[in-house]
Amino acid sequence: MAHAYSHLYGLQTIGLRFFTVYGPWGRPDMAMWLFIEAMLKGEPIKVFNRGKMQRDFTYIDDIIQGVKASLFNEGLDKFEIFNLGNHKSENLLEMIEMLAKEAGTEMKKDLLPMQPGDVEATWADIEHAHSKLGFKPTTSISEGIPKFVRWYREYHNC
């Protein structure tokens, strides 16, 4: 639809695909938020596909850098699509362990089967975003998780 409008009406259209964004002010329905919330309440977390999942976790500051680059870049074509991600798949169980360690809590897991329509792994190919926008994420998950947990605790007074 965006491509058609771009072609028919000469509108520049830029599509951005975000990959598993986390950090301050994130969506409360995303895994990292749900996990930390449950951990701090002492509740089990729901882990689908029995934890055999990988995600390209991307810290919000890196996403913002990519969004700004797409807004203020003069050299883009009329129609562009960019993947904005960390360019690295992380093991879900390892992420959960990092989160629990940072929160100083025990981890209780409810290992569940794969959800219908879900995928085992995500990974952002950011070559196009890198070449056209100069997009280069800088926040590793080991740096981002402590920032997120600190923000979460301060925001929720816990």
The domain ranges of the chain are 2-156
Q: What fold does the segment set 2-156 form as a domain?
A: Rossmann fold (3.40.50)
pTM over the 0.85 mark: yes
CA dist 58 and 129 (Å) reads 14
CA dist 135 and 70 (Å) reads 9
Tokens of 31: 């895994």
The pLDDT assigned to 112 comes to: 97
The pLDDT assigned to 27 comes to: 94
* pLDDT block averages, 10 residues each, the chain of length 158: 92 96 95 95 96 97 98 94 97 96 93 96 97 97 98 95
The pLDDT assigned to 158 comes to: 87
The pLDDT assigned to 106 comes to: 86
The pLDDT assigned to 40 comes to: 95
